[in-house]
Amino acid sequence: MTTLQSENCQTNDLNDLFPMSIESLRFPLDNSIQIIFTGYYNGYNVEVRSPEEITLLYHMGCFGKGSASRSRPALVNSDRYPEIIRKRQYLQRNNWYKKFGDSGCTLVSSTLLKELDELTAKIVSDGEKLKKKDIIDLVSSDEEFSHDDVDTENAVNQSFSTSEKDEITVVIPNSDSEEENYFAALKPQCCVNKIKMQEKLILTPEEAFFLAYGLGSLQVVYNNNILDLEQCWTLLCSNDRHFVDRYVVYHYFRSKGYVVKPGIKFGGDFLLYKDGPGIRHADYIIVIKSDTKQDDLITILGHVRVATTTVKEILLVEVLKPNGVTSKLPESLHLYHVKEVLLTRNIPMTINNDD
């Protein structure tokens, strides 16, 4: 059995802080000034819907993932580009807006689609001007490019002065097969997107209960009722029979300073990040041993092969349950213990003695 060194858990990244205000850490702790987030249980996960809460939770601990993003929520990205969709998608969104949108607002029809001919013509003309130059002044070239960029940006802002950047959608023609003729006749059009896909922060059950129980910074709402810790624990355990073991492992490694994420992509239960997903790749793949899983040699070699290919290491984790303890109340979690086994693959070097 090997244990992870405590110095490896230390990090200088400010994003690894827990979502708790530093000013609120006074003894005794005053719950009235503590940050409390709100999550909504949907039967599988817990959703955080407020944009401000989404930004805080992801920046202060890398909790959850975006519902419409791969990992990092789109709300956190400050340099987001306009969305590119097909024409059939745009028409379908217009139909949704007619059925479910505000009746008092006028729908932006297809007649208001503004082609980017003026902007394209300006880019082409600027490129021709640069080609005509025989001598390029390296000192003044950066300044000239910066002025052109400002003029282009001002033209776009004047054309869409009533719309924000995230409300503009680029519509391209429909095409089932992207051939050469399709790109030759491609004329993108800009429109105002009336149907906005709201980005939500999806918390796993382990993340949600850690925020509620471990940090006391999350309240879970289910059927318009705020659940207490006992009700939340019972609800999560009823939907996942392995929730107790998974949460014990999650709480254990989170307490050691690691950022814990789902590891189903790499064949494990969790992934351990020292600095967060946005800074570096995961260092360990967590595989939880249970009675329902077969730990034969082929399965172990498969885990080691995946870890070696992705430059990671395998941590076999076993949850030691005390005798006579029920999993209904979270007060018994301190009696659980976690055993770690680090798997390494030693490849002996072959020496060629034929020379």
Active site residues: 273, 281, 312
Angle formed at CA 262 by CA 260 and CA 265, multiple of 5 degrees: 135
C-alpha to C-alpha distance for 238 and 113, rounded to whole angstroms: 51
Q: Are 61 and 259 in contact (CB under 8 A)?
A: yes
- In the chain, the amino acid numbered 323 is N
Helix (H/G/I), strand (E/B), else coil: 115: strand
Please enumerate in sequence order all residues whose Cβ is within 8 A of that of 99, keeping only pairs 6 or more positions apart, or say none: none
Sign of CA dihedral 7, 60, 261, 328: positive
Q: What is the DSSP letter of 219?
A: E
User: According to DSSP H, which parts of 229-323 are helical?
Assistant: 229-239, 243-255, 297-309
For residue 294, the Cα-to-chain-centroid distance in whole angstroms is 31
Q: Which residue has the tokens 């254990």?
A: 252
Around 235, how many Cα atoms within 13 Å sit in the side-chain half-sphere?
Answer: 23
